[in-house]
Structure 1
Amino acid sequence: MNMTDRFILQEVLTDDVPFRVHNVKIDKFICEQDLPLMLLAHYDRLSDELKAQKPLTDFFGQMNDQVTTAQACAIFGVSPDSLRPATHIKITGTSVIVWDDFPLALHLQFTNTAKDSQTTDERDIAQAVADEIGNILLSGNVNVLHKNTAKELVSVDLSDDEFVITPSDNYTRLPNSHALATTQILNHIRHTTPQAMAYLNHALRDKIMEHAQERF
């Protein structure tokens, strides 16, 4: 086997390789107003003037309670208009990117937050979703489809440990450390040289906004 027959997955991703998006699927899409939040999160959104009048120490025993905006205002003893209900957004999904000439396919997961949802004060739903797309990160499992028996494909994690991706007609799930190394590289490229991954960034944005428009 020639050296040119051996490929390191993470290096392939940083090269000028013509990947394309095969599909983008949305698994979870939450965009709702005034879901319960910890009381501490509501307190953080109070004005400085109200915080001075309502010391945090008065509510220590309830800080982890999950309450709505109206319930929080009642607990704080402030008028109902002292807090504006937040918009909660959670987006998760998957995308498959393909290098046809290899051939090679990566099944990737993405999300806008590791939390239950991300909150924003933006009232316009479409704008809130559009703003949140900028926080989308690839994370979680990475599955690789590699069928070419003439080429050796190896994944190298952040500790330089190698994992050989055996040619198969089925996807191979990368070990967690190798999935992390892969998504870290892809996220770095997306945010430092977005033009290099415009094909994926545009596909994610288009699919998410299409989904939002269907919902609202």
Structure 2
Amino acid sequence: MDLTALPTNTLDSLDNTDTYVAPNNKTFLADSDVPNTSVLNNAELAQSTAESSSQKIDPNAIILAEALADKAISWQIHNCKIIKKTVTQDLPLPFLYHYDSLDDAVKQTHPLTPTLLTQFNTSMTASQAARLIGIEEALLSSPWHVKVIGSLVVFSEALQLAVRLHWTNTGKETQQIYTKNEADAITIAFKDWQFFGRVDVLYKNDKQTLISIDEQSRSTEAPLTESLLTIDASSDYQQLLNTHALAVIVRLEADKAELPWFDKAILERIE
């Protein structure tokens, strides 16, 4: 699954029940100086840079993505809710999808004609497709179009940390599922749900540093300061920068099978 294809700010207009405060970017950790040596070979330079970089991260700091994926922490879920839900059979589809849903016997008696071929990519309802083919609408299988967007808050009382995440069954406009009833369509759609979008952090512990690491920037030659974000203690939610939100989502998606509390909360909500 290509998480970078999913939008990171789509939900700004959908989930606005809280006030969001942008993080104070001035709290980025400062760069340390590379040792002042006239000549360093590549190995020495790499080792020196690595040692310097490691010193910039407080060993007692909480690293956000790692903490969220830590099974030893007693994480709890609350306020798991649905923000937007679409489950219908009435949305149009390209004619090709309608024709492909026909039984082979019907296709043999109603083969594709040049006129039908010109309509292959034309969006239409099942009723319109049936009229175009010249058959009863009941002979077409209309899929369920499923798109559910929701949010939840995962929190740890011990860490005084809460993180609001967003989830959905698909990054597309809808997911088409061929099944007889709505309940089965939703169940099938959420066999592979995913996190996406904005990530908001509420952190109230001013005794321990909380940081986020943008692993993508860290893997490049960019300065370490560009990949680290210190999240200040606050009484308000703070929206993570898009790159840091993506880093959190990538980590959670990678470890999702080992974090069953997310799956349990979401599946209970959609039932």
Q: Give the TM-score category using the shorter length.
A: 0.7 to 0.9
Q: Larger Cα Rg: Structure 1 or Structure 2?
A: 2
Rounded to whole Å, the distance in 2 between the matches of 1:189 and 1:98 is 17
Residue type at the aligned position of 2:133? F
Instruction: Verify: 1:208 aligned to 2:208, yes or no.
Output: no
Which residue number corresponds to residue 214 of structure 1? none
Structure 1: which 5+ runs fail to align? 210-216
Q: Deviations over 1:166-205 (max 9, x none)?
A: 22111111111111111121122123x3xxx222211111
Compute the displacement of 1:121 (Å): 1.4
Rounded to whole Å, the distance in 2 between the matches of 1:44 and 1:156 is 47
C-alpha change, 1:95 and 1:39, in structure 2 (3 Å) is same
- Paired residues of 2:102 and 2:141 also in contact (CA < 8 A): no
Structural mapping, 1:96-107, within 5 Å: 96-107=153-164
Q: Secondary structure at the match of 2:73?
A: coil
Compute the displacement of 1:81 (Å): 3.5
- Paired residues of 2:87 and 2:182 also in contact (CA < 8 A): yes
Which residue number corresponds to residue 229 of structure 2? 163
C-alpha change, 1:5 and 1:34, in structure 2 (3 Å) is same
C-alpha change, 1:154 and 1:54, in structure 2 (3 Å) is farther
Which residue number corresponds to residue 77 of structure 2? 21
What is the CA RMSD across the aligned residues, in angstroms? Answer: 2.4
Residue type at the aligned position of 2:191? G
TM-score by length of 1: 0.83
Rounded to whole Å, the distance in 2 between the matches of 1:177 and 1:41 is 37
Structure 2: which 5+ runs fail to align? 1-56, 219-226
Compute the displacement of 1:69 (Å): 0.7
Of Structure 1 and Structure 2, the greater strand share is in: 1
Compute the displacement of 1:60 (Å): 5.5
Compute the displacement of 1:54 (Å): 4.0
Which residue number corresponds to residue 13 of structure 2? none
Q: Secondary structure at the match of 2:167?
A: strand
C-alpha change, 1:44 and 1:188, in structure 2 (3 Å) is farther
Q: Secondary structure at the match of 2:146?
A: strand
Residue type at the aligned position of 2:265? A
Compute the displacement of 1:143 (Å): 0.4
Which residue number corresponds to residue 60 of structure 2? 5
- Paired residues of 2:145 and 2:175 also in contact (CA < 8 A): yes
Compute the displacement of 1:61 (Å): 4.5
Rounded to whole Å, the distance in 1 between the matches of 2:174 and 2:113 is 24
Rounded to whole Å, the distance in 1 between the matches of 2:163 and 2:228 is 18
Q: Secondary structure at the match of 2:130?
A: helix
Residue in structure 1 matching 2:185, options 118, 128, 145: 128
Residue type at the aligned position of 1:198? P
* Bigger relative CO (Cα 8 Å, ≥ 6 apart): 2
Instruction: Verify: 1:150 aligned to 2:207, yes or no.
Output: yes
Structural mapping, 1:172-183, within 5 Å: 172-183=238-249
Q: Deviations over 1:110-140 (max 9, x none)?
A: 1111222211111122222222221211100
Rounded to whole Å, the distance in 2 between the matches of 1:172 and 1:128 is 35
Residue type at the aligned position of 1:88? H
Residue type at the aligned position of 1:148? N
Residue type at the aligned position of 2:78? H
- Paired residues of 2:213 and 2:244 also in contact (CA < 8 A): yes
Which residue number corresponds to residue 34 of structure 1? 90
Rounded to whole Å, the distance in 2 between the matches of 1:56 and 1:88 is 28
Q: Secondary structure at the match of 2:211?
A: strand
Deviates more, 1:70-79 or 1:149-158: 70-79
